[in-house]
Every structure is written in structure tokens, then in C-alpha cells.
Amino acid sequence: MDIKALRFDPVTVEPEPGEPAAGRLVDGDPRFRTWNLEEVDGSLYAGIWESTPGTWRIEYDEWEYFHILEGHSIVTSDDGAVYDLRPGDRLILRPGFKGTWQVIETTRKDYVIRL
């Protein structure tokens, strides 16, 4: 059967643990949980991501749209733009974006990533 709809429900998926990539940690001990709910041909991903407090460097080679569901984070670009993110906020990060991600309060977001 070729299903054309997928319920966006993290209860149906076991979360994958994670942490910032080696050499990117700036402060703290952030721990990630990621529920990858959809993956299409290795080029499109959708799911839910969560992190505990901490700060790390980010560098995007991909395009990502996300919506903050819980918590408080601050994304700061290397050019000085600051994005204070709280529940209800949405952001798109494009390829080439570089900066830091600081989780102030454990943050959960849903996301769509296109490589």
C-alpha cells in the first residue's frame, strides 16, 4: 500500500540519543534526543528534536525549517544576528548559516530538513 499521509507522532518512534559534534561544544553538557519520523531518499528528514541546556557551534550545509514547541534557546549567527526562540517561534536556517545554538531551558522543536 502506498500511504500518502503520516501521523506526526513521536510515540511511534524510539528517540536517538546525541550530543554536539566533536570540537563544537562551547559550554555545558547538552544531550539530544531525536525522533526521526520521516526520511525520504536521504535528502529530506522530518521529526522532533530535543536538547538539554548548553551551547555549541552550528554550521548548516542543509536547509532547515523548525518550530519551537517547548523551552528557550538563543541562536546567534556569526554576523551578530540573534534569534531568541520560545514556544511558537519558527525559523529557517539556510545552507551556509554559521553561529551558535544556546539552550537556556530544555528545548523541543519539530523540524523539516532538506539536504
CATH number for the domain spanning 58: value is 2.60.120.10
Angstrom distances, CA of residue 32 to CA of 16, 18, 38, 104: 8, 5, 18, 14
Specify the pLDDT at position 94: 98
> Who has greater pLDDT, 1 or 4?
4
What distance in Å separates the CA atoms of residue 96 and residue 54, rounded to the nearest whole number?
22
Question: Which pLDDT tens digit goes with each residue over 58-99?
Answer: 999 999 999 999 999 999 999 999 999 999 999 999 999 999
Give the number of domains in the chain: 1
Q: What is the mean pLDDT of residues 20-47?
A: 95
Judge whether 76 lies within some domain.
Answer: yes
Judge whether 83 lies within some domain.
Answer: yes
Dihedral (CA of 14, 44, 110, 85) sign: positive
- Do the Cβ atoms of 58 and 25 come closer than 8 Å? no
Helix and strand counts by DSSP (H, E) for the chain: 0, 9
Q: What is the mean pLDDT of residues 6-31?
A: 93
Judge whether 72 lies within some domain.
Answer: yes
What is the domain range of residue 67? 10-114
Judge whether 1 lies within some domain.
Answer: no
Judge whether 4 lies within some domain.
Answer: no
